[in-house]
Amino acid sequence: MIHRLQRGLVPEKHHVALRVDGELAFEHCITRRGFDSVYTIAYHRRPPHWVRDEQDLGEHPGHVEAAWDGAVRRRHFQPARLPVGGSPFAARRLFLANPDVSVWFARPDADDDTLVANADGDELTFVHGGSGRVETPLGVVPFAAGDYVFVPRALPHRWRLDGPAFLLLVEGRSPLDLPKQFRNQVGQLTMDAPYCHRDFREPVWPEGGPQALGAPRLLKILRHGRVTLQELANDPFDVVGWDGQLWPYAFPIRAYQPRTGAVHLPPTTHITFAGSGYVVCSFVPRLVDTREGAIPCPYPHSSVDCDEFLFYVDGNFTSRRGIDAASVTLHPIGLPHGPHPGRYEASIGTTRTDEVAVMIDTFSPLLPTRFAREVEDPSYNRSWVQQAGGEQTGGGVKDPVAW
């Protein structure tokens, strides 16, 4: 959804005959928001919609119920404790969900052994560790640690890994896009957007076209958390050409152009992607506030209409002790949060931060699953307890209080 691309052969107009080696190619229109939004038209050698067989494989093992599970509290999850193994599709585990967005983690160490397609939403995967490529009928997207990888809803693809990987998957129910404020009236990224068109890594058209990738004809489709296996009648990668504005891409988080203010700028200054009901923000190394006396560390705050998910990627996390790379904190609607006291004051006079983090702010509460609870640090919420006159030690309510 960045700009129009063309790869391979396309006829001079939509919906007219394209013949390849004397045979009529089959047009495949992939459209969003009905037929009103972005679209891509691909041309296949054989009908792309013919299926030889299909089978219901049941619930995806990583898709479990997300539900409210108790008192409101600030939470710390450690997805690095997930077992390593399996393909990206098989290894994914749902951590948090609401009606707008689901957040999964995966620690795969093998390629997808079939094609996969997520019919539940667009997928924005942040690659915390590992490298490889995503093969699609529209081309190949190479990726490395620190990249976001975008795969549109329902596009058949497979992940090929160079080794073990650590993935954070954001599954958006509505089309995930770049925020409107970064586009001009004809859709071009504005001069003051935090990225430019060149920052988005386009799919590479392989020599011989995608057909040369030898894609399997088995396709697993995820829908409502269940998996349907289709045996396709034809090679879904037999695309001779395509054009359009809907395509998979990679965006390196460090290509995000941060801003610095005279005083601390709010998280909205880090917005990178947006869908209905949520935004994804990127925190990257940057100079911090320039005014004398400015406090670069985030101020205690209550964003009272949002749940705030933060995934710590790299750097020295200035605001809270006990947080490491690959930590997730979840600060729910209704609770103020902010730095540990020492960190707040120590930040005065600093000139830069090297932190890298991915934040997801949602307007509906993000509910945890058992996969999140299994790797939760139960001490985190107690780290906010400030005893009178001193250190945060954990404390405890001495006398039970009836509500």
Specify the residue for token string 């729910």: 332
- State in angstroms the smallest separation of the CB of 306 from Fe ion: 8
Of 156 and 339, which has the nearer Cβ to Fe ion? 339
What residues contact residue 1 under an 8 Å CB cut-off, 6+ apart?
Answer: 38, 175, 177, 178, 245, 246
| Binding residues among 90-129 for Fe ion as defined by CB under 5 A | none
Residue 109 CB, nearest approach to Fe ion (Å)? 34
Cβ closest to Fe ion, residue 304 vs residue 402: 304
Rounded to the nearest whole angstrom, what is the least distance from the CB of residue 269 to Fe ion in the complex?
A: 13
Q: How far is the CB of 329 from Fe ion (least distance, A)?
A: 9
Report CA Rg, the chain. 23
E strand spans, 253-320: 271-275, 278-283, 286-287, 307-314
Nearer to Fe ion, 244 or 296 (CB): 296
Question: What amino acid occupies position 1?
Answer: M
Minimum CB distance to Fe ion smaller for 61 or for 300: 300
Nearest to 154 by CA among 30, 29, 238: 30
Stretch touching Fe ion by CB under 5 A, among 42-50, 134-142, 178-186, 301-309: 301-309
- Tokens standing for 198? 């060149």
Kindly state the smallest distance separating residue 299's Cβ from Fe ion, in Å: 9
Least gap, CB of 49 to Fe ion (angstroms): 46
Phi-psi domain of 33 (left: phi exceeds 0; alpha: psi -120 through 50; beta: other): left
From the number of C-beta atoms within 10 Å of its C-beta (0-12, 13-18, 19+), residue 39 rates as middle
Q: Which of 27, 122, 177, 308 binds Fe ion (CB under 5 A)?
A: 308
Give whichever of 104 and 283 is closer to Fe ion, judged by the CB atom.
283
Give the residue closest to Fe ion by C-beta.
308
Least separation in angstroms between residue 331's CB and Fe ion is 6
299 touches 338 (CB < 8 A): yes
CB of residue 157 to Fe ion, shortest distance in Å: 34
Q: Rounded distance, CA 397 to CA 138, Å? A: 59
Among 58-66, 128-136, 269-277, 305-313, the segment contacting Fe ion (CB under 5 A): 305-313
Q: Would you say 119 or 263 has its CB closer to Fe ion?
A: 263
Phi, psi of 356 (to 5 degrees): -125, 130
Interface stretch with Fe ion, choices 11-19, 95-103, 104-112, 300-308 (CB under 5 A): 300-308
Q: Which stretch binds Fe ion (CB under 5 A): 224-232, 237-245, 302-310, 366-374?
A: 302-310
The yes or no reply on residue 361 touching Fe ion (CB under 5 A) is no
Q: By C-beta, is 225 or 338 nearer to Fe ion?
A: 338
- C-alpha pair distances (Å), 319 with each of 109, 315, 323, 337, 344: 33, 12, 9, 10, 7
Count of chain residues binding Fe ion (CB under 5 A): 1
Structure-token pair, residue 15 = 């919906």
**Cβ(231)–Cβ(54) below 8 Å:** yes
Residue 196 vs 265, nearer CB to Fe ion: 265
What are the residues binding Fe ion (CB under 5 A)? Answer: 308
